[in-house]
Amino acid sequence: MVTRKRFKAAGALAASALLLAVSACSQGSSTKQPEPGGQSSGPANIKIAYQQWGPGTTMKTFLAGVKSEYEAANPGSTVEVLPIVASENDYYTKLQLMMRSPNTAPDVVYEDTFLINSDITAGYLRPLDDYIAKWDQWGQFEETAKGAAKALDGKTYGVPDGTDTRALWYNKQIFAKAGLPTDWQPKTWDDVLTAARTIKAKVPGVTPFNIYSGKPMGEASAMQGFEMLLYGTKDSLYNSDQQKWVVGSQGFKDSLNFIKTVFTEGIGPSPKQALDPNMGSKVGTELLPEGKLGIALDGSWIYGNWQKTGAKPWPQWTEVMGQTAMPTQDGGGKGKVSLSGGWTWAIPAKSKNPDAAWNLIKTLQTQKNAAKYATDGAQIAVRKDVAADEGYKSSSKSTQFFTDLVSVTVYRPAYAEYPKVSNEIITAMEAVMTGQSSVDDAAKNYDEAVEGIVGKDKTTAGQ
């Protein structure tokens, strides 16, 4: 008797707990939002979230400056800078969890463009069109940059603060020792491999070539590593004419084969080293400055580490490091490849102070602040007035080179499914580089996974 009663009560309690949990987790897209501009943006407490990981403090310093500027201009308002101390994937997870509820949603968040479409589809972000329409500075942004955070619904969800391109960085001193030309211009993948093999033979104690690969480095592996290869073949990830994802392509296998060659021939870092989640900052702050790495397939921003404000000041880099474009597989097409991404400032749909948040974004993106971040953060400017800024143009010896790559650059497929596809790419890379599966098996697993993600009818064969 007693026990039955108890179980009944227990059931009722459990059910209510379940209801709580369900309502907590379901996305109430029907939550009523205040109309933009509908309320006066009086004093408010604004929370701005960004990722803090590794030795770099550029963003931290930059935001501290913006905070005092904003608070001085808006008496009574406070800006709470919320560093999320987490590695890449954990940062997104935490941010997404926070954005699910008005209680925890920050007012301004820093979103990578590769993820933004996925988060837009999830209903996490607020369209900014009404704000942008009244903003005189938007005209200063490059057209491509304006598209960076534009969703399929045609609305804009983020204000980009810079973009980037990717290419080969190489150490001229090591090249000289290896008897390689110091104005190196590889024409094909084989040229890159040959140079790396030469370094391996002639300069012991140096890692010849680094390409990011495997799960710990996340999107850097997929984009800087794999896609820089794939987009140099005849294939790509997504066929935009047919609006379908490409599976079973020769280019995909060739790219995996390149990864396999690098790691099995020992012309890259050891797989174990490459699978360190800190490999990114290690390349920038240790391997390159200490002259332990010959060639790095890396981003335009990496010299940010070596500036006076960077994590590892290294004034000599302008003499030691050369840059050259990543060639296509066999020199065909435009002959060189680059990919572009970048980050944007966005306002979560559940922010309680969207108007004040927008004001903060405007402060982040004054010409002066944009130029400062582009310079200190080693970004490629997305504002015309910043791009024309003398201080910015002369900020680095490599600025011109990487800005020119914009003419050949490619953007990742801007679809909500991209992050999932990207996860499958890095899984395939890791399987190949550790010798756990053959190139064919890894490619086959990738194809099956992509068919599972987007549906078989949304895939198409390669060239």
Partner 1 sequence: MTTTVAPAPVASKPGRNGKPRTANLFKMLPLTPAIGLMLVFLAGPILYCIYAAFTNMALTGTGAANVTFVGLDNFRKAFGSGAFSNAIWLTLVFTLVSAIIGQNTLGLGLALLMRKSTKVVRNFVGTAVIGAWVLPEVVAAYLLSAFFNEEGTLNVMLHAVGLPGQDWLYAAPIIAVSLANIWRGTAFSMLVYSAALSEVPKEIEESAEMDGAGGWRRLVFVTLPMISRAIMTNLMLITLQTLSVFGLIYAMTRGGPGTKSQTLPLYMYEQAFSFSQIGYGTAIALVMLAIGAVFSLIYLRGLNSEAA
Partner 2 sequence: MIARDRISKLASNLVLLAIGILFVLPLLWVLFASINRTAGLRVEFPTDPTLGNFKAVLNTDTTYRPVLNGIVLCGGAALLTMVCAVLAAYPLSRFKSRFNRPFLLTVLFCTGLPITAVMVPVYGLFVQLNLVDTLGGTIMFMATSSLPFAIWLTKTFMDGVPISLEEAAWVDGASNMRALKSIVLPLMWPGIAVVLIFTFIGMWGNFFVPFMLLLSPERLPASVSIFTFFGQYGEPNYGQLAAYSLIYTTPVLLLYLLLSRKLGGAFALGGAIKG
Residues lying near partner 1 in the complex (CB under 8 A) are found at: 2, 5-6, 10, 13-14, 17-18, 20-22, 25-27, 29, 89-90, 92-93, 96-97, 115, 118-119, 121-124, 214-216, 271-272, 275, 277, 416-417, 419-420, 423, 427, 430-431, 434, 436, 445, 452
Residue 459 Cβ, how far from partner 2 at the closest point, in Å?
30
DSSP calls for 380-418: BP-BHHHHT-HHHHTS-TTHHHHHHGGGTEEE---STTH
Residue 54 Cβ, how far from partner 2 at the closest point, in Å?
5
- Residue 104, contacted partner among partner 1, partner 2, none, CB below 5-8 A by kind: partner 2
Q: In a 3-state reduction of DSSP, which class is residue 199?
A: helix
Write the DSSP symbol of residue 205. Answer: T
CA-closest candidate to residue 55, choices 376, 378, 311, 377: 311
- Tell me: does residue 278 bind partner 2 (CB under 8 A): yes
- Order the strands of the 158-160 sheet from edge to edge: 78-84, 45-51, 108-112, 343-346, 158-160
- Residue 119, contacted partner among partner 1, partner 2, none, CB below 5-8 A by kind: partner 1
Give 335: exposed, middle or buried? Use CB within 10 Å, 0-12, 13-18, 19+. Answer: middle
- Given the complex with partner 2, which of 90 and 330 has the nearer CB atom? 90
Parallel, antiparallel, or unpaired for β 326-327 and 166-171? unpaired
- Pairwise CA distance, residues 402 & 295, whole Å: 17
- Residue 271, contacted partner among partner 2, partner 1, none, CB below 5-8 A by kind: partner 1
- Given the complex with partner 2, which of 16 and 318 has the nearer CB atom? 16
Tokens of 75: 């008496």
Residue 86 Cβ, how far from partner 1 at the closest point, in Å?
11
Say if CB 55 and CB 374 are below 8 A apart. no
CA contacts within 13 A on the Cβ side of 120: 28
Residue 294 Cβ, how far from partner 2 at the closest point, in Å?
19
- Out of 30, 32, 75, 103, the only residue in the binding site for partner 2 (CB under 8 A) is 103
Q: CA triplet 354, 360, 361: central angle to 5 degrees?
A: 90
- Tell me: does residue 14 bind partner 2 (CB under 8 A): no
- Pairwise CA distance, residues 395 & 400, whole Å: 10
CA-closest candidate to residue 306, choices 298, 296, 314, 318: 314
# binding residues, partner 2 (CB under 8 A): 33
Tell me which stretch binds partner 2 (CB under 8 A): 100-108, 113-121, 229-237, 415-423. Answer: 100-108
- Residue 89, contacted partner among partner 1, partner 2, none, CB below 5-8 A by kind: partner 1
Question: Going residue by residue from 212 to 251, which x/- string records binding to partner 2, judged by CB under 8 A?
Answer: ----------------------------------------
- Out of 28, 147, 277, 462, the only residue in the binding site for partner 2 (CB under 8 A) is 277
> Residues interacting with partner 2, by CB under 8 A?
2-3, 6-7, 17, 20-21, 23-25, 53-55, 82-87, 90, 94, 97-98, 100-101, 103-104, 277-278, 281-282, 285-286
